[in-house]
Amino acid sequence: MSETSVEAAAAMMGRASWASRAFAEYRKDAVDRIVHAVASAAESHAGEYAEWAVRETGFGVAEHKKIKNIACSRGIADGYREHDYVTPRIDAGAKLVAVPRPAGVVFALTPSTNPVCTLYFKVLLALMTRNAIVISPHPAAREVCVAAARTLAEAARAAGAPDGVIQVIEQPSIPLVEALMADERTNVVVATGGSAMVRAAYRSGTPALGVGPANVPVLVDATADLPAAAKRIVESKSFDNSVLCTNESVLIVEDSCADRLLTLMTSEGAHLLDDADTGRLRAAMFPGGSFDTRFVGRDARWIAGQAGIRVGANCRVLVAPIELAMPEEPLAREKLCPVLGLLRVPSAHRGIAAAKAVLRITGAGHSAAIHSTDPATILDYSAALPVLRVSVNVGNSLGSSGFETNLAPSMTIGTGFPGRSSAGANLAPEHLVNWSNIAYNADSTVPFGDFTGLDPWRRSPEGAVPPYPHASNALDSPRRSHPSHRPPVAEGDTAFREQLRRLIVEELAQIMKG
């Protein structure tokens, strides 16, 4: 890593560390004002940044990305409006007082597939818990993420947040990212992206919250509401061209209801492939057995065209029958595009076994879906599969991510022990704050103190913090005039461009690897 990059990283982390210490003294009303201002700014740019993300990355559908951007801005702020991660919690019966302690500096990695909504989500969680955040955007979505981070940083600062509470790496590189993850002033790394980047976060020596890959099986049994299941599966699989990791990957359906379900799915925009077209699709998407990342986030008609398959104008999802769920079958792997593998099984019991086989390929710990009205089957399915969330009678894209269920709404899905992740739940604000416990003597003769109305924090909403004196990444660009704060390596540099290329290729390849 060049000297200039070292200097830039050191200045950025110094500023973030200062901002986190200042922010940790803010009261609840001040935090609420900042969160509201940032959520409003994010929501107002939801459509603009959705179109920008599609234009820059080539992934997904702008209309659907706008929905996600709104859900991860105003939706997140409203969803946690009544939650309090600032005020001490008093349990007089247990004679305990819990005092919240923010993590400090959050280093957040964001993916190319869901860049802006993930950025919005992580920024708001950090602010709710009084943390500073440094964002490392995926190089393929760098421009839109830098613009979005600047917008949110300005809104936070205008609302009274410390200058530097939100920062972004404007020219990401592998050495710079590694240096920031390992920097002693980074308190936690939150990694959303490919397996290579998540593993790097765990190796950094800094506490990390990372997630593993998905490969979602969806079982439809004979008791299911078939019209509803057909509609929900097609809508979920086509939503944003399947770039959410929670999208369905392999459809497993009981023989007794399979023909009816597939007919209903066809009326919703699915196209069932015959054996010949399935072979063409397999060859196009997995040349030499490896996934061709050109297909990530592309629509079903484009994918069909690349494979030489004729489909109707209303085609939204391609359904490809396969014989077995095994590693040698590429269509049984995760596919971040609107292509579903299809397995027909003689019974729900056999369907559960097939779903377990899908997850043995990849996706352990992540999520699964089922469409059924039989509680016994639902419970057997959930108990047998090594996943930490099972969505029932809902599209899994927005079901396991919590936007159409009562799970925590999240763009970071913990895979827990089965997925070799430190986080097992959907990432939520409580993951970015610890609680110090004041514990009184349990003897009933020892009185408990009266903490009612006490507040240890000092800063009111009007108590704005002065700007950091030597900001490395401020919106008014003081670093451009300070000799110690030159920008990182120029993007035109050949070695730097090669680093970016390798990061993109490796991450996408790891996402798709079976």
- 327-337 pLDDT, tens digit per residue, is 999 999 999 99
Please, which pLDDT band fits residue 489 given cuts at 50, 70 and 90? very low
∠ Cα 142 144 145 (to 5°) = 65
- 306-327 pLDDT, tens digit per residue, is 999 999 999 999 999 999 999 9
In a domain? residue 493: yes
Q: Where are the beta strands (DSSP E) in 110-150?
A: 132-136
Q: Same structural domain for residues 201 and 231? A: no
- 400-433 pLDDT, tens digit per residue, is 999 999 999 999 898 888 887 778 899 999 999 9
Q: Same structural domain for residues 195 and 149? A: yes
Which pLDDT does position 474 carry in this prediction? 47
One of 245, 257, 315, 337 is an active-site residue; which one? 245
Has 245 been annotated as catalytic?
yes
Contact 38, 155 (CB under 8 A): yes
Q: Same structural domain for residues 290 and 336? A: yes
pTM for the model: 0.87
- 185-235 pLDDT, tens digit per residue, is 999 999 875 555 566 666 666 777 877 789 999 999 999 999 999 999 999
In a domain? residue 341: yes
In a domain? residue 287: yes
- The proportion of the chain whose per-residue pLDDT surpasses 90, expressed as a percent, equals 75
Cα 349 to Cα 20, 67, 231, 254, 290, distances in angstroms: 52, 37, 24, 10, 31
pLDDT greater than 90 at residue 485: no
Give the CATH number for residue 132.
3.40.605.10
Q: Same structural domain for residues 38 and 142? A: yes
**Number of folded domains that form the chain:** 2
Q: Same structural domain for residues 147 and 234? A: no
Q: Same structural domain for residues 224 and 200? A: no
Give the CATH number for residue 304.
3.40.309.10
- The proportion of the chain whose per-residue pLDDT surpasses 70, expressed as a percent, equals 85
In a domain? residue 415: no
- 248-307 pLDDT, tens digit per residue, is 999 999 999 999 999 999 999 999 999 999 999 999 999 999 999 999 999 999 999 999
The alpha carbon dihedral of 135, 137, 143, 148 has a sign of negative
Mean pLDDT computed over 128-138:
96
In a domain? residue 191: yes
The domain of 92 spans 3-211+427-445+473-512
Which pLDDT does position 475 carry in this prediction? 45
In a domain? residue 459: no
Query: Mean pLDDT of all residues in the chain?
Result: 88
State the residue for tokens 């009326």.
267
Which pLDDT does position 194 carry in this prediction? 57
Instruction: Count Cα neighbours of 142 within 13 Å in the Cβ-side half-sphere.
Output: 12
Q: Same structural domain for residues 23 and 168? A: yes
Which pLDDT does position 490 carry in this prediction? 41
Please, which pLDDT band fits residue 463 given cuts at 50, 70 and 90? low
Element housing 21 (H / E): helix 3-23
Q: Same structural domain for residues 23 and 63? A: yes
In a domain? residue 310: yes
Alpha carbon distance 338, 325 (integer Å): 18
In a domain? residue 333: yes
Q: Same structural domain for residues 51 and 146? A: yes
